[in-house]
Structure formats: C-alpha cells, structure tokens
Copies of this chain bind each other. A is one copy, B any other.
C-alpha cells in the first residue's frame, strides 16, 4: 500500500514540478522575468507558494531550469540540423530559418532567455545556454570551413555574428510602439533575408572585399 501511494506521490510530485516550470515559462513568455514572481508562478500552477520551495531551492533555480530547458530544446533542433545531410550552407540557412521562425512565436520569451538580466547565478546558466546555441552554429560553420564552403577566418567570431543576427532580429519587434505583427508571408520573407545574410556573411568571397581602415 505504502508502495502504491509512494508511486502515486512520486507521480504527483513530478507533475507538480512540471506544472510549476510550465507556469513560470508562460509567465516569462508573457511579461519577462520581472513578471515571474513566486506568488504568480504558484498561483498559475495551482499550488501554494510554499510548495514551490519543495521543488526548488529558490526562485533562481526555477528560472535557471526554465532557461536551460527551453534552450536545450532549441539546441536539439539545431543539432539535428547540424547532423543532417545537407551542405553546410544549406544547414546554416536552415538553422537560422528555423531558430528565428520559432523564436518569433514568443519573442518575449526569446528575449528573456537571451538577454533579460537577472542575478548572477542565472547569468552563469544563461551563458552556458547561449553556448549551446553557438555550439550548434559552430559545428555547422566548422564543417563548411573545412569543406571549403565558407571563407571566414575566425570560427568563434563568425558564430557570434550569426547568433547575434538571428537573436537580435527576434527581439527587435518587441518594441512597444512598433506593434507590427507581420503576416505569415512577410514573416517568411523576413526570415529568409536573415538566413541569406548569415550565409553570405560566411561564404567564400571571390576577391577579398575587406578594407584596410585605420581608426
């Protein structure tokens, strides 16, 4: 009997944990970290605020978990693309396209995960998360470099640029004034431009266009 209950308990606990995380994630997606207070998270999860502390040591823990979970998911998607059989530039194009498209669906979440500041403990985790994303891009870029598709010099920097472009474009439409909810057609066009930009950015160039400019 205590067996059975224990199992049920276990299950319920897992469930609670998930519900809390989901609740936190939704709140962040709506209003950023600043709207994800313990009280609000608990309420939305249908549990007491006290219970939250059974599952998480403190607020940061929750945020960290939401963060890493979300990024982990994106990471897998990107990784799958990186592991596919396309050419490097095709992979890169697809990676950027996919990431941006997905992120555009909840830009506030994307912004919070990538940029919104919180305390140091989370910042650390965020860094790791971002590294994952960059790692996927890195992999694709490295492959392209090796097989001669890409012509950039510094792998890491190129990856930063790609990640920078593809995250920035997502959070920009967040702007309060500019409530341009673009339609699907434009969205597709928009996303393609970005991917094109990123691919172009790393392709082999005929002649070296880089300019010598002294500051």
Contacts and interface: CB of A to CB of B under 8 A. Distances in A.
B176 A124 contact: yes
Interface stretch (A6-14, A19-27, A62-70, A166-174): A166-174
Contacts of A40: none
Contacts of A176: 120, 123-124, 127
Interface string A153-194: 110011011111111110110011110000000000110111
Given A200-B203, A215-B101, A152 B193 contact: yes
A131 B170 CA distance: 15
Contact of A196 (B120, B163, B210): B210
A172 B123 CA distance: 11
A65 to B, nearest CB: 19
Nearest to A94: B213
Contacts of A196: 152-153, 209-210
Contact of A177 (B117, B124, B194): B124
Contact of A34 (B115, B117, B130, B201): B117
Given A116-B116, A160-B165, A197-B202, 13 more contacts: A90-B213, A94-B211, A97-B215, A111-B117, A127-B176, A152-B197, A154-B193, A158-B193, A161-B168, A161-B193, A164-B166, A164-B172, A192-B210
Contacts of A34: 117
Number of copies: 4
Nearest to A89: B209
A203 B200 CA distance: 8
Contacts of A157: 169, 190, 193-194, 197
Nearest to A108: B117
A71 interface: no
Given A157-B197, A164-B164, A90 B177 contact: no
Contacts of A162: 165
A200 B205 contact: yes
Contacts of A117: 32-34, 111-112, 115-117
Contacts of A215: 97-98, 101
A195 interface: yes
